[in-house]
Structure 1
Amino acid sequence: MRRACGAGDRGGSPCEPGSIWSRGGRRRSPGPDDTADVKRYVNLAVTVAAVAATVLPALTGGTRAWWVLPLAVASSVPVLWRDRALIRVAVVVGVATTVSASLGAPPLLPVGPLVCLYTFAARASPPIRLLGVALTAAGLLVSLLYPRPDVEVLRYLSVAYLFSYALGTSTRARRAQAVVLAERDRRIAGEHAAAVLRERTRIARDLHDILTHAVGVMIVQAEAGPLLVRHQPDRADAAFAAIAATGRDAVVQLRRAVGSLYEPADQPLDQPGLDHLPVLVDRVRAAGLDAVLEVNADPPLAAPTDVGVAAYRIVQESLTNVVRHAGARSVRVRLDHTGNSLTVSVTDDGRGERASDAGPPGYGIVGMRERAHACGGTLHTGASSDGHGFTVTATLPLSAPAVV
C-alpha cells in the first residue's frame, strides 16, 4: 500500500522538501555547496571562452601547420584546472602560447595566459603572485622578441596583461573587504546579542527584587493584621497602611522597570539609589523589625549611579530575605565609605545560615553577586561574627569602571 504524504515515521514525512529528491534524483544541498556550484559554472564558462578565442582563430587562420591546433588547445583547455594546480596550468599554457608565437602563429589574444595571470593576482599568496608575474613577463618577452622584435604588439599585450593583473588585484581587494565586513557584522551581531542578554538579565533582577521585597513585606503585614485588629487596632491600621504603601511603591518601580524598555538606549534609567535607602528601611521597620540604617561617610557620600542602584538592590534583597526567612528581631544596614570604595553590610540576629532550609533555593544571593560584579565589586555572605544571625557584605568601587 502506498504511503501518503504526512504518514512518515520518526525520521519525518516522506513528502518533506529535503526527501523528495533523496531517491531518483540529485538531492540539492544548500549553503556553501551552492557557491561551489556557481564557481564551477563560472570556471567552465571562462574555459569555454578561452578555448573559443584561441582554437577558433587557429582553425580559420592562414597557417595550416599541424602543430597550430594542438598548441592552441594546450594554451586554453588547461585553464579549466587552474583552481587545483595553478602553477602547473600556468606553465603549460604559457609554454604553449610562447612556442606558438615563436613559430609564427601567435594567438589573436592570449586569453589563457591572461586568465592565469588574473588568477595569480586574485587568489595566490604574494610569493606565488611574484612567480606568476615573472613567468608571464619571461614568456611575453620571448614570444615577442624571437625571432624578430615587434614593439607595437609588445605595447598592446603589455596593456592587456596589466589590465588582467589589475582586475585580479581588484577582485582580491573586494574579497578581503567582504571578509572584513562579514567579520564586522558577526562582531556587531555578537555585541547586540550580548547587550540583549544583559538587558534581559537586568530586567529579570529588577523584577525579582521589586516583587519579592514588596510581596514579602505585604505577606508579613497581612498575616499580622488579623491578630492586631482585635487587640491593637492602631497597629493593625498601620499594618494595612504599610501594605498599601508597599503595593503602591512596587507598582511605581514596576512601571519604571517596564518603561525603561521604551526609553532611548542613551538615556539614563530612572532607578532608586542610595537616597532611597531610608524609605526602604522605614518600610521594613513598619513590618515589625527593629531596622537601623547607619551611614559612615565624611564627606557626604556621592556614588556613581550604577553603584547606587547596585547598593540599593543589594540592601533591598537582603532585607527581603531577613523578613521572609531569617526569623530575626532586628537588622542593621551599614554604609561605610573607605577610600575609593563603598562597603554595604546588612546584619540580622535571626537563624543565620539555617534560614536557607526554610524554603526552596532562589536567585536572591546570585542576583546580588551579579550586581556587585557588574560594578567591579565583590559580595560575601555568611554567619555574623558573633555566630548569631547572617551578614551580607558588598564592596563596591567608586571609581573603577563597570565590568561587562
Structure 2
Amino acid sequence: MPFVLPREPGLPPVTWTAYAFTTLGVLPLVWRRRRPVLVLVVILLVGGVYRVAVDGPGQPLPYAGLMAFYTVALRCPGRVRAWVGAGSVAVVAASVGLSTGTARELSFTLFCAGAAYALGRLQYTRQAYTAAVEDRAAQLERTHRIEAEQAAARERARIAREMHDVLSHAVSIMIVQAEAGPVAVRRAPERAEAAFEAISETGREAMAQLRTMLGVLRETDGPEPREPQPGVAALPALLERVRRGGPEVVYEESGGAAGLPAAVDTAVYRIVQEALTNVLKHARARRVSVRLHHGDGELSVTVTDDGRGPGGGRGGAGGAAGWASGGGGGAAGGGHGLIGIGERAAAHGGTAWCGPRRDGPGFEVRAVLVTSRPEVGS
C-alpha cells in the first residue's frame, strides 16, 4: 500500500529502485514449482538487499518468502527440506538481529515460517491421498472391465457348449435314422415308420431346447415361459431315442441317489448326451453301457461302447487317451465335444477321462463330479 497511497509528510518519496526490488521479490514465484529452493534463495536475497541497501517505504511483509517456503515443504524431499529449514532459521535470526533484535519478532517470524511449512506438508499429504484414491479407482475400473470380459468369455463358452451338445446330438440321431430309413422301408416298413417318428421327435426336442437357450439371451419386455434344463431324470428318454438309432443301450444307476444340485444334474445329462453323440457319429457300436454311481460327495459317470474305438477312426479321440481337468481337453487332439466334457467336469471340481476300453474293444468316457463341498473345518 505505501506504493499506492500518499506517504506521510517528511518521508522520502518512493523510487523506481524500490519498485524494481519489490517486483524482483515476487516475480520468481512464477518458477517456484520447477526450482523451489532456488526461488526461495533468490527471494531471500532480494529481500535482504531491499532492507539493507534500499530506502524503501516501510517494511514489506514476507508473503513471497512464505509462499516459496511452502513450496519447498510441498515438493522437496526430506533431506533438502532439512537443509533449507536450517538455513531459513539462520537467515531469520540474522534478519531479526539486524532489525529489532527482540524475541517477539523472532518468535512471530518463526511461527509464520513454521505455519507455511506445515501447510505445505498437509497439502503434500492431501495430494498423495488423492492420487492414491484416483489410482485405486482406475485399477478397480480396469479390474471390473477385465472381469466383465472374462465373464462374457465364460458365458460364450458355456453357450457354445450347450449349442454344440444340443445340435450335435440331435443331428447325429437324425442322420443315423435317415440313413437307416431307406433300408428299413425295403426290409421292415414298420421300423421305417419308427425311424421317421424318431427323427421328428428329436428335431422337436432340439428346437425346444434351442428356444429355451435363445429365450435367455433375448431381451424382452415381459417374462417368457422357461423350461428347466434336462437332468438325470431325462436320461431314460435320451437313451430311448438313441436305441431307435440302432445300438442297444444299457442303463445302470447305483449308490444312494440323493438330490443333485441343479448345475450338476444338467452337467451329467450333457456329458452322457455328448458321449452318446460320439458313439452314434463314430463308433458303429452295437452295444452301449451308461453307468451312474452316487458316491460320498461325488457322482461318477461312465459311458462305454463296443465300437471301433480310437484306432478305428474314432472322432475326437485322436488315437490317444488322457485326463481332462481344469477345462482341458479329454485327449490329445480332442474335438470340442470331448473338451466340453472335461470343462463340465472341471467346473464342478471333478475330472474326466476318455480313451480305449481296457476290457475289450471300444471306447470309454468317464467323468467324476463333486456333488457336495466339504464343510469348513471338517
TM-score range, shorter chain: 0.7 to 0.9
Q: Equivalent residue for 2:273? A: 316
Q: Equivalent residue for 2:284? A: 327
Question: For 1:74-109, what per-residue CA distance to the aligned partner results, in whole angstroms no more than 9, with x for missing partners?
Answer: 9646636x3xxxxxx444334444455556647442
Q: 135-144 vs 343-352, which deviates more?
A: 135-144
Partner of 1:396: helix, strand, or coil?
Answer: strand
Question: For 1:140-167, what per-residue CA distance to the aligned partner results, in whole angstroms no more than 9, with x for missing partners?
Answer: 5334443323444544454444333323
The aligned runs of 1:32-181 (5 Å cut-off) are 64=17, 72=25, 76=29, 79=32, 82=34, 89-101=35-47, 105=51, 107-110=62-65, 111-120=67-76, 128=77, 130-131=78-79, 133-135=81-83, 137-148=85-96, 149-181=105-137
- Using the TM superposition, give the Cα deviation of residue 392 of structure 1 relative to its aligned residue in structure 2, in angstroms: 0.3
Among 185, 194, 197, the residue aligned to 1:238: 194
Question: For 1:221-269, what per-residue CA distance to the aligned partner results, in whole angstroms no more than 9, with x for missing partners?
Answer: 11112222233222222111111111111011111222222489xxx99
Partner of 1:386: helix, strand, or coil?
Answer: coil
Q: Equivalent residue for 2:311? A: 354
Partner of 1:146: helix, strand, or coil?
Answer: helix
What TM-score, normalized to structure 1? Answer: 0.70
Amino acid paired to 1:389: G
Distance 1:388 1:310, change over 3 A: same
d(CA) in 2 for partners of 1:358 and 1:312?
Answer: 21
Distance 1:274 1:163, change over 3 A: same
Distance 1:206 1:262, change over 3 A: same
Aligned residues: 323
Amino acid paired to 1:303: L
- Using the TM superposition, give the Cα deviation of residue 385 of structure 1 relative to its aligned residue in structure 2, in angstroms: 1.9
Among 156, 161, 169, the residue aligned to 1:213: 169
- Using the TM superposition, give the Cα deviation of residue 332 of structure 1 relative to its aligned residue in structure 2, in angstroms: 0.6
- Using the TM superposition, give the Cα deviation of residue 61 of structure 1 relative to its aligned residue in structure 2, in angstroms: 7.8
- Using the TM superposition, give the Cα deviation of residue 333 of structure 1 relative to its aligned residue in structure 2, in angstroms: 0.4
Q: Would the aligned equivalents of 1:377 and 1:396 in 2 still touch at CA under 8 Å?
A: yes
- Using the TM superposition, give the Cα deviation of residue 187 of structure 1 relative to its aligned residue in structure 2, in angstroms: 0.5
Q: Equivalent residue for 2:153? A: 197
Structure 2 unaligned regions, length at least 5:
1-12, 52-59, 97-104, 221-225, 319-333
d(CA) in 2 for partners of 1:277 and 1:321?
Answer: 16
Among 205, 220, 237, the residue aligned to 1:279: 237
What TM-score, normalized to structure 2? Answer: 0.75
Q: RMSD of aligned C-alpha atoms?
A: 3.3
Distance 1:61 1:183, change over 3 A: farther
Q: Would the aligned equivalents of 2:308 and 2:314 in 1 still touch at CA under 8 Å?
A: no
- Using the TM superposition, give the Cα deviation of residue 199 of structure 1 relative to its aligned residue in structure 2, in angstroms: 0.3
Structure 1 unaligned regions, length at least 5:
1-59, 83-88, 121-127
Q: Equivalent residue for 1:381? A: 354
Q: Would the aligned equivalents of 1:98 and 1:142 in 2 still touch at CA under 8 Å?
A: no
Among 212, 229, 232, the residue aligned to 1:256: 212
Q: Equivalent residue for 1:35? A: none
Q: Would the aligned equivalents of 1:336 and 1:344 in 2 still touch at CA under 8 Å?
A: yes
Identity of aligned residues (%): 40
d(CA) in 1 for partners of 2:230 and 2:293?
Answer: 19
The aligned runs of 1:284-295 (5 Å cut-off) are 284-295=242-253
